[in-house]
Chains A and B, each alone.
Chain A
Amino acid sequence: MADPLVGLVLLPLGWATLAFVLGPGRGAWAALAGIAAQAWLAWLLAAQVGAGGTARHAVGGWGAPLGIDLAADGLSAALLLLTQWLALGVALYARSYFAAGDPARRYFWPLAGFLLAGLNALFVANDLFNLYVTLELVGLAAVGLVAAAGGERQIAAALRYLFAALAGSGLYLFGVALVYGVYGTVSIATLAPLITPEAPRLVWIAGGLMALGLVVKSALFPFHFWLPPAHGGAPAPVSALLSALVVKASFYLLLRLWLGPFAPLAPAAAWLPALLGAAAIFWGSWRAIRAERLKPLIAWSTVAQLGYLFLIFPLLAVPAAFGAGVMQVFAHALAKAALFAAAGVFIQATGQDTVAGLAGAAARLPVTLFAIGLAGMTLAGLPPSAGFLAKWQLIEAALALGHWPIAVVALAGGLMAAVYVFRVLRQAFCLAPAGAPVAAVPRALEWTAFALAAASVLLGFFGVDLMTLIEVRA
């Protein structure tokens, strides 16, 4: 693997295939070895991009627009780094989470491998049609993971997810077809100088369709309807991957197109995503505060936290807004993976999923509870967590442009997050009802949840390094 850019796509494809051939439930070691190697490659790539600028690879040696070019700038390198390291944590967790005969484990490893391959391919893609193929890889693998060996409700949730994902990628593909019709190319690098504010009307329609498709896939309010049942009903490791990474992939793509080829058209619509984002923060937080079961609570919190990502669009004239968006992606990914992992521990220990059932958790599962506390700090945006840095930069950008309502929304959202996190913590410190059984939980589960939560807080100390990396642009 001379070129980390290519290795990050080929490796997961390889071990996913191997895991399927090995047979149902097998392949955990192949997956762990593969993801560890990917984590190393992502590290190499980040160092390479940081030192030498955008990394490129012309597949087939043809070069765009005839062939397909891959490229990783600072943003891609940062997200690849996040994806591999987070996946490493979730994979370690999943290996202990699924019991030997669990039907949900049968095709977990191959599907997870293809999911990671799709995510990595998406982050290095530089071609609108290639991006569509990666969106399909990610979407179908995610639906498969949600549906795997679930009951009727889980399959219903997966079907709803499938329809939303297909509608989203269908809209995106329609837009790509129109763009190809106008310019005769789908290479982003070739398109960028061609699209101007005087572009034909068709390009505006295409941009709108692509943005709408990606927004549906990112579960922005009011297109969030598919997320809570899908993320709240899947097994804990799957929920962690989905909430942490999958919804971020379509956001990444929207941001990349917004700042890239569609930059001349984008400012016209900048307030729409921000308004919907604000609505998502209030509605998602409210539903999380009211939720009775733990995993749906965390899933609704995802709806709310995704809202912050869309607040940055009217502020992109200030560099801090871009930084805020990326920092929020990192903070939420790590914190949410930690929360779902911790929820999985509680479900295994108590055999149920209600918030009320958490009573007594403080004494019995202190490590897991500490993980929830740390992840909650990040979600509410308390210093020194990465979530704090994200909100700080967001508010700074909002005030610099005089858009103070955005700052108010960010602060109010932080308060609401504190309420639903505190609700969980308070319940955990209540005394357990006498005789409530608590099963032994593998320690690997507790400690991986803790490591993810700790990472979401500690990342706050490495904010400057991350911001330097994402400043590397094409």
Chain B
Amino acid sequence: MKRLAVFCLACAFVVLTGGALIELGPAAIDLRGQVAAQLAASGVSHPVTAVLLNFRGYDTLLEVAVLLIALLAILAVTDKPPAAPVPAHPLLQAVARGATPAMILVAVYLLWAGAHRPGGAFQAGAVLAAAAVLLHLVGLLPGWGAPGLRLRLGLTAGFALFLALAAALLSQGALLQYPPAAAGTLILVIEAGLTVSLGLILAGLFLFLSRDEGGET
């Protein structure tokens, strides 16, 4: 009975929202046009990267902080040592060994490509993290315990660099105001730092949680 009521409510909502969506005209403001008009001054030629790292770079800065907080929350609740790695079938290990250099290469390519086509730090970091998880799953990379100084520096370096540059650019007049001539270089530097740190953070979301209890997954 309860399930039926929820189902009916959800259907009513979908019909209502869908109906309201259909009667909608064009938006009052065309942001795509504005992005296109300012793209030349953004330092990159791909509109998504221009929005993420330049026009709305402040959002991205805070989003990286959100990821860092998620990792901190996980670290705060886990205090048991990591599980010992369980070696998988040698064939799987060989495949993972072979795939890892290729994945690192893909990550670097994605980072580089972000300036002019789909790609960028988040995608590159995700590929790096996937490589680490793959190595962990075949038993070549042990789970992570409480992070040491080097790992802590690695986890925060990208965010700290982004934050420091954002603050330093206050001298240009506003937070994250890139000088147009240097914008491309600065964005690449920030994305490179973010790639490393996001890779470590995303890998950490998995590897810090890999404990004896709760099974090996």
**Which size bracket describes the interface of A in this complex?**
35 or more
Residue of A nearest to B32 (CB): A184
Question: With A and B bound together, what is the CA distance between A110 and B72 in angstroms?
Answer: 8
User: Are A183 and B27 closer than 8 Å at their CB atoms?
Assistant: yes
Interface segment among A14-22, A320-328, A357-365: the answer is: A14-22
Interface segment among A41-49, A198-206, A215-223: the answer is: A198-206
Describe B's contact surface by its main secondary structure: helix
A133 lies within 8 A of chain B by Cβ: yes
User: Are A68 and B146 closer than 8 Å at their CB atoms?
Assistant: no
Question: With A and B bound together, what is the CA distance between A181 and B174 in angstroms?
Answer: 29
User: Are A3 and B77 closer than 8 Å at their CB atoms?
Assistant: no
Near B by CB (< 8 A), chain A positions 59-81 give 59-62, 65-68
Residues of A with C-beta under 8 A to B69: 111, 114, 137, 140-141, 144
Residues of B with C-beta under 8 A to A6: 170, 175
Q: Known contacts A6-B170, A66-B34; is A129 also within 8 Å of B59 by CB?
A: yes
User: Are B23 and A201 closer than 8 Å at their CB atoms?
Assistant: yes
Question: With A and B bound together, what is the CA distance between A144 and B65 in angstroms?
Answer: 13
B173 lies within 8 A of chain A by Cβ: yes
User: Are B20 and A202 closer than 8 Å at their CB atoms?
Assistant: yes
Residues of A with C-beta under 8 A to B29: 65, 183-185, 190
Residue of B nearest to A147 (CB): B77
Residues of B with C-beta under 8 A to A21: 149, 152-153, 156
A434 lies within 8 A of chain B by Cβ: no
Query: What string of 1s and 0s marks CB contacts (under 8 Å) between A357-400 and chain B?
Result: 00000000000000000000000000000000000000000000
User: Are A144 and B73 closer than 8 Å at their CB atoms?
Assistant: yes
Question: With A and B bound together, what is the CA distance between A245 and B113 in angstroms?
Answer: 43
Question: With A and B bound together, what is the CA distance between A324 and B213 in angstroms?
Answer: 52
Q: Known contacts A57-B175, A60-B57, A61-B174; is A147 also within 8 Å of B73 by CB?
A: yes
Among all A-B residue pairs, the 3 with the closest Cβ atoms:
A184-B27, A144-B73, A184-B29
Chain A residues engaging chain B, CB cutoff 8 angstroms: 2-3, 6, 10, 13-14, 17, 20-21, 23-24, 57-62, 65-68, 103, 106-107, 110-111, 114, 117-118, 121, 129-130, 133-134, 136-137, 140-141, 143-145, 147-150, 155, 158, 178, 180-185, 190, 194, 200-202, 205
Not counting A66-B31, A205-B17, a sample of 12 additional A-B residue pairs whose C-beta atoms are within 8 angstroms of each other reads A2-B170, A17-B68, A21-B153, A106-B75, A107-B75, A147-B77, A149-B77, A181-B21, A181-B24, A184-B27, A185-B27, A201-B20
Chain B residues engaging chain A, CB cutoff 8 angstroms: 16-17, 19-21, 23-24, 27-31, 34-35, 38, 54-59, 62-63, 65-66, 68-70, 72-73, 75-77, 79, 146, 149, 152-153, 155-156, 159-160, 163, 166-167, 170, 172-178
A-B contact pairs, 7 of them (CB 8 A): A111-B69, A137-B69, A147-B76, A149-B76, A149-B79, A185-B27, A202-B17
